[in-house]
Amino acid sequence: MLFSVPTFDVVPVVATKLLTLVCTLAVISNDIQHVRGLQEVDPVASAAGIDLSNYHNYTALQSLFRQLSEDYPGLARLHSIGKSVQGRELYVLRISSGLDAIKEEANPVGDDQRYPLLDGKPMFKYVANMHGNEAVGRALVVFLAQYLLKQYGREERVTRLVNTTDLWLMPSLNPDGFEAATEGHCYMTAADGGSGRPNANGRDLNRNFPDQFHDGHDRESLLRGREPETLAAMKWIVSNPFVLSGNLHGGSVVASYPFDDSAHPSRWRSVYSAAPDDEMFRALATTYASNHETMKTGHVCHGDSFANGITNGAKW
């Protein structure tokens, strides 16, 4: 799991709010993360009327999110930030109180992906399933959307979060990859049985974003060779003032904090790459991991060895 915030000097009041938000998300994550491989029924989810028995494919996800936006018009609104290689919508569900009081385009076009702000509420986003065959994060985002909406007005912690935060939940940045994946096979390459990791063009989206140390900073360099999913995410991110983000991957249980890239000549060399707000990033990652039921141990998955359940992305 990766949390990232813009690299600016974080004033104490903002830092406190961010730490509170991260702590709340970690605790709620505990509530919905007793999925046990999506095979057993979780009592918390059952009480909220959420079915954890299967993954949602593209059609089921589309139907569910449309239904949620219709059932909760004041709390949820469905958007698409673009389309995949094969033409699937890149859906994102916006959740916050007061959405029925603003007018906004469902799918802004062009380079401007700005959405109306909600009375100064901080914008937070979860993006999952960047690797199409890493499906647990996708499922958790789908369950989280249902949990927040169904428990609003019933659970104080959820109600407070939805009332004070502008939440954007994207279950899949790689819907083509998910549709190509085979349940139970999460390997790195198709040769190992792990089809679906890249997008439909065979590109690893997690390696397709601009590298601040090795790519040029002019517009041409930033856009060159980017996949449609990557470009859609880039436009969405630079057009809106998100203050905190979580990028959900599979394979390890850890809070990985910036930077993921480094100035080392070898892009894949394991070196610590500190952001200007390194202390704040480590505090955010530590807050999340320490409030997470298992992440704080640092030894959840085979091969995991993360002190306090956190790691610098480039060092990892």
Handedness of CA 38, 41, 43, 48 (dihedral sign): positive
Q: Report the alpha-carbon distance of residue 87 to residue 55 in Å, rounded.
A: 21
Q: Report the alpha-carbon distance of residue 214 to residue 273 in Å, rounded.
A: 14
Structure tokens at 89: 């919508």
Q: Kindly state whether residue 1 falls inside one of the protein's structural domains.
A: no
Claim to verify: residue 216 and residue 186 sit in the same structural domain? yes
Q: Which CATH number characterizes residue 93's domain? A: 3.40.630.10
Q: Find the domain containing 214 and state its range.
A: 40-242
Asked whether the beta carbons of 166 and 96 are under 8 A apart, the reply is yes
Relative to beta strand 255-257, strand 310-312 is parallel
Q: Kindly state whether residue 44 falls inside one of the protein's structural domains.
A: yes
Asked whether the beta carbons of 68 and 50 are under 8 A apart, the reply is no
Its pTM stands at: 0.87
Q: Report the alpha-carbon distance of residue 196 to residue 186 in Å, rounded.
A: 9
Q: What is the pLDDT of residue 112?
A: 66
Q: What is the pLDDT of residue 105?
A: 61
Claim to verify: residue 105 and residue 64 sit in the same structural domain? yes
DSSP 249-313: -SS---EEES-SS-SSSSTT-------TTHHHHHHHHHHHHHTSTTGGGS-SSTT---GGGEEET
Q: Report the alpha-carbon distance of residue 122 to residue 79 in Å, rounded.
A: 18
Asked whether the beta carbons of 251 and 134 are under 8 A apart, the reply is yes
- Dihedrals phi, psi of 4, to nearest 5 degrees: -140, 140
Claim to verify: residue 222 and residue 272 sit in the same structural domain? no
Q: What is the pLDDT of residue 93?
A: 97
> 């912690």: which residue's tokens?
157
Is the peptide bond prior to 213 cis by the omega test (within 30 degrees of 0)?
Answer: no
Q: Report the alpha-carbon distance of residue 154 to residue 166 in Å, rounded.
A: 19
> 């673009």: which residue's tokens?
82
Q: Report the alpha-carbon distance of residue 273 to residue 276 in Å, rounded.
A: 10
Claim to verify: residue 229 and residue 281 sit in the same structural domain? no
Asked whether the beta carbons of 78 and 95 are under 8 A apart, the reply is no
Number of domains the chain contains: 2
Of 193, 220, 242, which closes a domain? 242
The helix or strand, by DSSP H or E, that contains position 248, with its residue range, turns out to be strand 242-248
The b-or-e profile of 49-85 (16+ CB within 10 A means b, else e) is ebebeebbebeebbebbeebbeebeebbbbbbbbbbb
Q: Walk along the chain (316 residues) and give the pLDDT tens digit of each residue.
A: 443 333 333 344 455 666 666 666 666 666 655 544 444 556 666 667 787 888 999 999 999 999 999 999 999 999 999 999 999 999 999 999 999 988 866 555 556 678 888 888 999 999 999 999 999 899 999 999 999 999 999 999 999 999 999 999 999 999 999 999 988 776 666 666 578 999 999 999 999 999 999 888 888 889 999 999 999 999 999 999 999 899 999 888 999 999 999 998 776 678 999 999 999 999 999 999 999 889 999 999 888 899 999 999 999 8
Claim to verify: residue 170 and residue 314 sit in the same structural domain? no
Of 185, 208, 242, which closes a domain? 242
